[in-house]
Amino acid sequence: MNSQTFNKLTPYMFMAPAVIIMAIALLYPLGYMVYGSFRDWDPSQSISETEFVGFKNYITLFFDPAFRESLSVTLIFAFTVVIAEMVIGVGLALLLDRNIRGMSVLRTLFILPMMIAPVVVGLMWRYMYHPTVGTFNRTLKSWGFEGVDWLGQHALLSVIIADIWQWTPFIFILALAALQSLPRSALEAARIDGATGWQQIIYIKLPLMMPVLIVTALLRLIDAFKVLEVILVMTEGGPGLSTEIVALRISRTATEFRELGTAAAMSNYLLILLLFFTLAMFAFTRLQEARAARLARQVQEEG
């Protein structure tokens, strides 16, 4: 091997360990899952003993009302929590973007929920929602109201509230970071130009934060589609299918119904959905970069 080809190969040799680990840890299970989704597969069988069934698993799922129900619960859950979290998180960031005494303590308090393990969050909210001894109903009753059947009649709303409680801080810190990196002088110019507080938010702050907010929302959306532990602990998908999100259904299909092929196919549906959002996010950032590069080029050409 002459030194020139050796030099060319050097970077790939350095990359090799990472590539090998990625391949084993990421691509192998993914490939296994895709392969398995085309087979009729019971957990007692090894994968080589299974029967190839083509797209049967996918087609069955597509017409399965339970899976469709699960998918619509997931969509409702994901979009509701992300919209609510965006509104509350960005609102809080706008409110707390100022220097008052004790603000750093307040900010730390706000991001605490995010740091709690999801299972703990689930347990905590399950106890708070408990129909007789839970905090909410006891408080309501002490005020003379009727208790609410939180995890029964309003199960989806209740898990949505818990998720908003846990993940609003994520939006909050990112929005706050975006706010604090805004050009101060542009805001000062807006104040001199006559913008009121609201007008500054609507015409200057939000438009300038938008790139960060869009990426944040997409990240949260991707995450919300995969939520599992909190709901598992709080409702186990019930009552009925009212809170059975896709991730939960996948886990039950694999463990309770022992249909690994169907579970794999379901995972792939979810994967395709998430891939769509991820690609949307990439496309968005690429678009931004391309626009910035085009502007820079335009300036350079004019000298």
DSSP class of 47: G
Question: Secondary structure of 77-106 in the HEC alphabet?
Answer: HHHHHHHHHHHHHHHHHHHHCCCCCCHHHH
Q: Which of 51, 193, 236, 289 binds another protein (CB under 8 A)?
A: 193
User: Counting contacts by CB under 8 A, is residue 295 touching another protein?
Assistant: yes
Q: Binding to another protein by residue 199, rule CB under 8 A?
A: yes
Specify the 3-state DSSP secondary structure of 52. strand
Which amino acid would we find at residue 50?
Answer: T
User: Shortest gap between Cβ of 303 and another protein (angstroms)?
Assistant: 8
β-pairing, 51-52 vs 39-40, is antiparallel
- Of residues 19, 87, 186, 279, which one binds another protein by CB under 8 A? 186
CB of 208 to another protein, least distance (A): 6
Task: Candidates 10-18, 34-42, 66-74, 178-186: pick the segment binding another protein (CB under 8 A).
Answer: 178-186
Nearer to another protein, 31 or 183 (CB): 183
Q: Is 225 in contact with 246 (CB distance < 8 Å)?
A: yes
Q: How far is CA 179 from CA 56, 98, 164, 187, 213, in A?
A: 50, 10, 21, 11, 10
Task: Specify the amino acid at residue 271.
Answer: L
Can residue 286 be called a binding residue for another protein (CB under 8 A)? no
Interface pick for another protein out of 116, 189, 280, 283 (rule CB under 8 A):
189
Stretch that binds another protein, among 8-16, 64-72, 183-191, 234-242 (CB under 8 A): 183-191
Q: Does 204 bind another protein (CB under 8 A)?
A: yes
Based on the shown chain and the rule CB under 8 A, indicate whether residue 22 belongs to the binding site for another protein. no
**Binding footprint of another protein, residue count (CB under 8 A):** 23
| Number of C-beta neighbours around residue 271 at 10 A | 15
CB of 288 to another protein, least distance (A): 11
**Nearest-5° Cα angle at 264, 222 to 227:** 30
Judged by CB under 8 A, does residue 299 bind another protein? yes
CA pair distance 255, 261, nearest whole angstrom: 12
In the complex, least distance from residue 192 CB atom to another protein, rounded to whole angstroms: 5
Cβ atoms within 10 Å, residue 217:
20
The distance of closest approach from Cβ of residue 198 to another protein in the complex, given in angstroms and rounded to an integer, is 11
Does the footprint of another protein cover residue 214 (CB under 8 A)? no
Residues 136/142/146/149 CA torsion (nearest 10 deg): 20
Shortest approach of another protein to residue 210 CB, angstroms?
Answer: 8
Q: How far is the CB of 175 from another protein (least distance, A)?
A: 17
Concatenated DSSP letters of 257-276: S--HHHHHHHHHHHHHHHHH
Q: Tell me how far, at minimum, the Cβ of 179 lies from another protein, in Å.
A: 15
Could you say whether residue 296 binds another protein (CB under 8 A)? yes
Question: Contact positions toward another protein, by CB under 8 A?
Answer: 183, 185-186, 188-196, 199, 203-204, 207-208, 292, 295-296, 298-299, 302
